[in-house]
Every structure is written in structure tokens, then in C-alpha cells.
Amino acid sequence: MTGILAGLRIVEGSAFIAAPLGGMTLAQLGADVIRFDDIQGGLDSDRWPVTKDGRSIYWAGLNKGKRSIAVDLRHPKGREILTALIAAPGEGAGIFSTNMPARGWLSYESLAKHRPDLIALNIVGARDGSAHVDYTVNATTGFPMVTGPAGHQGPVNAVAPPWDLATAYAGAMAILAAERHRRMTGQGQRIVLPLQDMALSVTSALGYIGEAVVNDIDRPRYGNEIFGTFGRDFRTRDGRYVMICIFSDRHVDALAAAGGFGEAFRQIEVETGQDLKTDAGRWRARDRLCAVIEPWVARLSAEEVGKALRQAGALWSPYRTFRELAADRESVLDNPMFTIVDQPGIGRYPVAATPLQFGAVPREAPRPAPVLGQHTDEILSAILGLPGHEIARLHDEKVVGGPR
Amino acid sequence: MTGILAGLRIVEGSAFIAAPLGGMTLAQLGADVIRFDDIQGGLDSDRWPVTKDGRSIYWAGLNKGKRSIAVDLRHPKGREILTALIAAPGEGAGIFSTNMPARGWLSYESLAKHRPDLIALNIVGARDGSAHVDYTVNATTGFPMVTGPAGHQGPVNAVAPPWDLATAYAGAMAILAAERHRRMTGQGQRIVLPLQDMALSVTSALGYIGEAVVNDIDRPRYGNEIFGTFGRDFRTRDGRYVMICIFSDRHVDALAAAGGFGEAFRQIEVETGQDLKTDAGRWRARDRLCAVIEPWVARLSAEEVGKALRQAGALWSPYRTFRELAADRESVLDNPMFTIVDQPGIGRYPVAATPLQFGAVPREAPRPAPVLGQHTDEILSAILGLPGHEIARLHDEKVVGGPR
């Protein structure tokens, strides 16, 4: 391992998105991330999307570059092994990340008996420990009531899970913050990160709670428009969609150049009294802007629209489906972040490394996800120092599992 | 400052969401985060939502707990001051985070001349340096084509910006990773984080690219349903909405108990041959499950539905608007993460601290965002060691700004 986090070891007890993605992020930066699962597989081992044979493409995506140990989680000896693994000595070791219920033998108190400077990140649903997933948390934030087509009744859920993503990366960051603290003070600690609080803190940071209280309004549903500036989807002659935005002066001029809108924009400014070089002006005059841009886009093919916008340096993007994305040169096939990986049991497809480029170390190519228990033996041997005959007995007694 | 990151100083040149939110995250953990802006204010200083007087609630939310220095960014002396600030000595100093174009005097090469072990995080749009925002990146990922009501034509944009959030927290994490590396090796470095690569790496991690390639399909739009298990919104008698999900065996039993669905669920299993205790079984039998749950929810008030689901321990949540959220006891008013803050120029409203609870240090209450240039003088004096008369002259020459 040569990544920026080489020397760090994290033991992970996880399922679904937030905790595994946080661990995978650290693994792709060079940390030795060991995910443990029950000998039967975790809650998410068969999670969709799956291949025709039922192999989880989802699991493969979220556990890349980790090592896997499979243990009977109900067996006292299985628990003993994992406790020893979590509390194993070493400067960069003794870090535990989980979204499993951290009770009993997995509680911080129990584990810290074996390693007083243990760092444990516990991702929980709500702060009272009750269960939550991205979907339920999202419902409470208010976002589903302002997402989706204007005029639509009822909520619109997010598909890209914003709160899982925030929790994954904030959790990974928290582990590094605690590791820094431990290096400076020798002190370990438990970190609690409630998924719901994560979502609420972002909702607060983005101004939604402040707006509701200070202005005493519920923001309406603005469809695909970007609130408070200019941006929307437009449909091309050939039935494709493009997103066109304005976030700065430069984007106003570029858009005007792309479509020859200079005179039309000036007229909008004169007639509405709005300054299109300000956020507020663009937002207030957005219907007028759309009335100019919409027919231009509708007259052209997606290729023609793209060419004009690109040449002018406008802020825009075509919309794509996932299949179109997977076949796109610029985004995927020619992107050095992607490598074609052969994922055992699933197949060959483009897989992303970390998006972070650290100047001090080269970016590691993505490694496949392990199969369940792939590293059981090497972990028992190299980290816990168990001799071969003991490892064999643990397999015979079905305390541990994995391909032999 | 007593937070977990006390002793760290980050100079930030930023606008919009990803970079300011990353900095705010570190500030709320106790780092000294100094945001610099042009003497006229940054690109996002008036960004909506705003108060009736045009004060940006958005800006206030994303810059909490930072210090603000205002400098004429075109003036050679202004640039000299910021260079000295970014390169200021100190073990936890010499960290620069930006999503401004890192060219010329703000390039890593120029800045590192003044501090060879400088750490700089450059958040860029695409990897080639071209501009992108969450909305344009989102269009390229494929998510807008599977978000929104089933049967809807065209894209549905995200309102909660998933890629800005991921970039903010991954960027904050990257700074800590580089700081660890510097502590161990003495070496600084430039880190590049393209917003687009961030989004594409998550799209890869969540299995969407693998699914498209391996199964050669474009996933259809499933409306508010959770793909591959059971979950959807339901409408109550009084016109409210609730999200009800199943992610584990326990949730099946709890839901059955809440609504008295035990026999109906057994019948579904017999008639469809699906095992509701598996993801695949629930997903395949989802229409049947909905046919049982929908009329039950429709017969009851939101309060009655909530009571039954809560008592049974089901995985569910009511949908709320932002105004309802702001007034909610459990989520906001009684949540120790929130404090009523008096934000100068805006007013008093509940504001969130960090969602992270570190065992080793108490959580700091949220601090308000600064007004532009609020800390110009104290920074020039305490960090750069400028005497009062020089600071006064810089104000007179309009090289720096801020309330005096």
C-alpha cells in the first residue's frame, strides 16, 4: 500500500451505504480496511443491483480494496477473534468503524478494555439510537417537498442518497480527526455520528431552516430551476435535454455569445429593470430568459447546442442515462480515474479509483472488492498470529469462514 | 477553541457550497478557518435565500464559525498579504483550501515558494479545469433520468446537492489526510478534487455504472420506490405523506405488527412464491405489499399511522416541509445540536453545530458567520504582526476592508 493513508488500519462492521462507503474511501487512499461479516454474509451482501446470477454489483462497488474476514458473530470465539482484531496493537491500528448496533461485546466500553486508546466511529440512525436510512431521514428534512416537477403533488425522493454520502465522507474525516488527536495526546475516543443529525446540519447550513424561520415561508417547488439564480433543463430538437446555468457574469456573456442573445438580454434588462449580472436579477427575470433560450435550444440538435455552448464557454451539461455515461469517453472511458476491473463473479467493467489526487503519492488503481472471507486466513495469521492448525480448527468448528 | 481540530489553521478562498461547507465543517470542529474575500464580497455574498433586506441567509449558513478577512484581490499589496497569510508559519498552519482558479499568485507553485510544506486543496469543476457546478455534474451522472415520478418525461434535478456535499466532506477529509502525511514526513502537497470525478466515483461505487455495463440495461424510473427492496411514500386520510421502508427481517415483522398485516403478508408469500425476508422477494412482491399497506394508511390520520408504526418499531418517517421541520421539537427545538443563534443582520433562528460527537471534547455550540472583513484587523495584527498604523494605512489605501 502506497496511498496517502498507508499505515492506517480500520476494522469495519457495516452494511448498506454510509459506513461501507466511508471505509472504501479510506481503503482507496491506502488504509488497510478490514470489513468483517457474519459467516453467512452481511445484511447487504445480496443487495440490488445484482447480476443475472444474483451477485451484488452494489456490494462490489462499496467494498473495493478492502480485506474481508468472515466470522460466526454469535459464537463466543468469533467475537473473541474480532475483539482481538479491533484492539490489535500498532500505531495506526485500533480504529473501529461501524453502523451495527454497538452494544454488548461491540460497545465502546467492552472493546476499550482491550485497547484503551481505541478510536470507534459509531454511525447511528437518530441521536436516540433509533433506526433511520437515507430515505426516512430525507423525508424529515423537507427536501422531497421541493424536489420534482413544479405543480407535482406529494413528495419526490432522492435517488442519489445525499445523507448517506455526507455521512460516509464526514465519518471518514472524523476518523482522521480522532487519529490526529490520538497522535497528539495518546487518547482514544468514541465518535457518534447520527445520520439524521448529519442531514439536519446540512439543511441548516444550506439556509433552509433560517429561511423558513426568518422569512416565515415554505419555499415552493420550483421544478428543475436553480433557486435564486438562473438554471434549468431545456429540450433539444432531437428530444435530448441539456442543463444550462448562470452563476457569474462570465456565464451571462458566454450564454449570450453561444446563442446570439446579446441584444435580447439587453432588452430584458431594459424592460424588467433587472440586472442580469446579479443573482437576484437573473432569478426575477428567469421567465424572460427562458423565453429566449427555449426556442433556440428547440431549433437545434443536442450536438449543435453542445457545440455552441462549449465554444462560448457557457456553464452547461447534457443529461445522460447511466448506460450513456458508462460508454462516455470523456467522463469514463478516457478518464484516468477509471480502470476496467475484473470483479470476480460479476465481470469486467469500468470502476473508479478515488477522485482525490494527492501530489505526494500516485493515485492507486481501483482494486476489486473481496469475496466474503477472502482474507480470513491471512488476517488470522498475520495480525492475530494464529498458527495454521488453529486456523484450520476454527474453520472446522465453523467459527470462521471463507474460501480455503 | 477547544474542538478536536484545535491548533489547525486553514485559509480559504471560496464561494458557493462545496468549498465553504468543507471549511465550515473544519471550523465547527475547532480549526481556525479564515475565509478571505474581495473587499467587495465574494461571488456568493448575496446568494439566495436572502432576507427582506437582501442579506444572504445562505452565506450565513455556510460560513459559521469562520474568521473573515477582506482584501482587494487585484491589488499587489492585497495579494502579498494573502500570500503571507496562507504561508504563515506554525505547525498547524500553511493549509489553503480553494475553489477559486488556482492560477498565477494563487497557484500552488507560487504559494509554495513562501512555504515549501504548504498543503493546498484545489476543488475544480472537471479534471481538465473546466467549470462545473452540482447541477451540471448531476446531469452527467444519470441520476436525473431516474429521479421523479414514474412515467415522468425528462430529467428531475436534485435540490439537496449530493455532489457538493460529497466534495465538501471528502475535501475536508483530504486536508486531514495531507496534514497527517506532513506530520509524518514534513512534506506538503497539492490536492486536486474535481467535482465531476467526485460524482462519478460515487456513481461507480453505488453500482450504477456496473449495472449498466454488466446487465446492459438502463434502470427505469421507479418513482419514490426504493430499488431492490421495499419502500415508498403513502398518503394518509388527512392528506399527509409517510415514507415506509423495509431493510431487514425486523422491519417486515414490525410493519406487519403495526398494521395487522401478518396474515396478508403470509398470503402474499404463498401466492407469489416470494420470501418477504429477502430484498429480492420484497422487491418482486412490492405491488402486492402496496395493495395491503395503501388502504390501511389511507384510512388513518397521520397521527394514527405514526403512532402505530412507532410503537411497532417499523422503519418509517413522516414527510415535512422546511417550515414544519424548523418548528419540530424532536428534530430541531429539542435537539442539542441546535442553538438559537443571533446572526447579525439576519435575526435569531435555530442553527446546527457539527453532527459529530467526539467523546474526547465537548461539542461546541454553533458560532455565527462573520460579517465581511470582521476579523481583518485582528488577523493582520496577530498573525502577520502588522502594527496599528500600517493596518490603518492599508484601510486608507483600500487594500483591506472590514468594519473598523
What are B155-210's pLDDT values in tens digits? Answer: 999 999 999 999 999 999 999 999 999 999 999 999 999 999 999 999 999 999 99
Q: Which residues pair with B1 in a beta bridge?
A: none
For B199, the closest chain A residue by CA position comes to A355
Tell me how far apart the alpha carbons of residues B141 and B162 are, in angstroms, rounded to a whole number.
11
Angle, CA A362 vertex, CA A358 and CA A364 arms, to 5°:
105
A363: contact with B, CB 8 A cutoff: no
For B347, the closest chain A residue by CA position comes to A214
Instruction: Give the rounded percent of residues in chain B with a pLDDT score beyond 90.
Output: 99
pLDDT digits (tens, 9 = 90+) for A278-323: 999 999 999 999 999 999 999 999 999 999 999 999 999 999 999 9
Q: Which three cell numbers stand for residue A199?
A: 442531514
A342: contact with B, CB 8 A cutoff: no
CB A175 within 8 A of CB A23: no
Q: For B323, which of A5, A218, A337 is closest by C-beta distance?
A: A218
Q: For A200, which of B46, B206, B331 is closest by C-beta distance?
A: B331
State the count of interchain CB pairs (< 8 A) between A and B.
523
The Cα of B398 is separated from the nearest Cα of chain A by a number of Å equal to: 24
Quick one: average pLDDT of A160-177?
98
| 3-class DSSP state of A399 | coil
Tell me what ipTM this predicted complex has. 0.98
B154: contact with A, CB 8 A cutoff: yes
Residues 205-234 of B with CB under 8 A from A: 205-219, 224, 226-229, 231, 233
Length of chain A: 404
Tell me how far apart the alpha carbons of residues A302 and A343 are, in angstroms, rounded to a whole number.
35
Q: For B352, which of A184, A204, A228 is closest by C-beta distance?
A: A204
A310: contact with B, CB 8 A cutoff: no
The pLDDT, as a whole number, for residue B226 is 97
Q: Where are the beta strands (DSSP E) in B54-112?
A: 67-71, 95-98
With 0-12 / 13-18 / 19 or more C-beta atoms within 10 angstroms meaning exposed / middle / buried, residue A260 is exposed
Q: For B155, which of A25, A200, A319 is closest by C-beta distance?
A: A319
Chain B residues closer than 8 Å to A369 by CB: none
B64: contact with A, CB 8 A cutoff: yes
Catalytic residue among A32, A44, A134, A164: A164
What's this model's pTM, rounded to 2 decimal places? 0.98
Chain B residues closer than 8 Å to A127 by CB: 335-337
CB atoms A155 and B243 under 8 Å: yes
Q: Is the pLDDT of residue B248 over 90?
A: yes
Give how far Cα A27 sits from Cα of A169, A366, B52, B229, Å: 13, 10, 48, 28
Tell me how far apart the alpha carbons of residues B316 and B309 are, in angstroms, rounded to a whole number.
7
The pLDDT, as a whole number, for residue B404 is 74
Tell me how far apart the alpha carbons of residues A322 and B147 are, in angstroms, rounded to a whole number.
12
C-alpha distance across the termini of chain B, in Å: 24
Angle, CA A39 vertex, CA A347 and CA A173 arms, to 5°:
70
CB B233 within 8 A of CB A138: no
Q: Is the pLDDT of residue A355 over 70?
A: yes
Identify the sign of the CA torsion B265, B266, B268, B273.
positive
For B198, the closest chain A residue by CA position comes to A355
Q: Is the pLDDT of residue B1 over 60?
A: no
Q: Is the pLDDT of residue B257 over 90?
A: yes
Chain B residues closer than 8 Å to A150 by CB: none
The pLDDT, as a whole number, for residue B384 is 98
Q: One-letter amino acid identity for B294? A: E
Q: One-letter amino acid identity for A188? A: G
CB atoms A356 and B170 under 8 Å: yes
Tell me how far apart the alpha carbons of residues B135 and B17 are, in angstroms, rounded to a whole number.
12
Distance of CA B156 to the CA centre of its chain: 20
CB atoms B127 and A154 under 8 Å: no
Residue A334: Cβ within 10 Å count: 9
Chain B residues closer than 8 Å to A60 by CB: 207, 210
Q: For B162, which of A52, A162, A229 is closest by C-beta distance?
A: A162
Active site (annotated) includes residue B164: yes
CB atoms A358 and B191 under 8 Å: yes
Q: Please provide the average confidence, as pLDDT, over all residues in chain B.
A: 97
CB atoms A243 and B58 under 8 Å: no
- Choose the mutation target among A135, A185, A232 for the interface with B, i.e. most B CBs under 10 Å: A135
- Give the contacts of A260 (CB within 8 A, at least 6 positions apart): none
pLDDT digits (tens, 9 = 90+) for A78-133: 999 999 999 999 999 999 999 999 999 999 999 999 999 999 999 999 999 899 99
CB B230 within 8 A of CB B245: yes
Q: For A315, which of B136, B176, B191 is closest by C-beta distance?
A: B136
Chain A residues closer than 8 Å to B184 by CB: 7
The pLDDT, as a whole number, for residue A404 is 74
Q: Please provide the average confidence, as pLDDT, over all residues in chain A.
A: 97
Give, as one character, the DSSP assignment of residue B147: S
B109: contact with A, CB 8 A cutoff: no
- Give the contacts of B208 (CB within 8 A, at least 6 positions apart): A49, A322, A325, B141, B142, B219
B47: contact with A, CB 8 A cutoff: yes
For B356, the closest chain A residue by CA position comes to A193
Q: Is the pLDDT of residue A2 over 90?
A: no
CB B22 within 8 A of CB B107: no
Chain A residues closer than 8 Å to B179 by CB: 180
CB A51 within 8 A of CB B215: yes
Distance of CA B215 to the CA centre of its chain: 32
Q: Which three cell numbers stand for residue A228?
A: 435564486
The Cα of A399 is separated from the nearest Cα of chain B by a number of Å equal to: 24
For A250, the closest chain B residue by CA position comes to B131
- The confidence band for B123, taking pLDDT boundaries of 50, 70 and 90, is very high
CB B305 within 8 A of CB B295: no
Report which of B281, B84, B359, B199 is spatially closest to residue A119, judged by C-alpha positions. Answer: B359
CB atoms A358 and B148 under 8 Å: no
CB atoms B145 and A235 under 8 Å: no
CB B68 within 8 A of CB B37: yes
Tell me how far apart the alpha carbons of residues A35 and A96 are, in angstroms, rounded to a whole number.
10
Q: For A233, which of B7, B155, B353 is closest by C-beta distance?
A: B155
- Choose the mutation target among B97, B204, B232, B361 for the interface with A, i.e. most A CBs under 10 Å: B204
The pLDDT, as a whole number, for residue B2 is 81
Residues 16-45 of A with CB under 8 A from B: 16-17, 21, 24-25, 29, 43
For A323, the closest chain B residue by CA position comes to B212
- The confidence band for A156, taking pLDDT boundaries of 50, 70 and 90, is very high
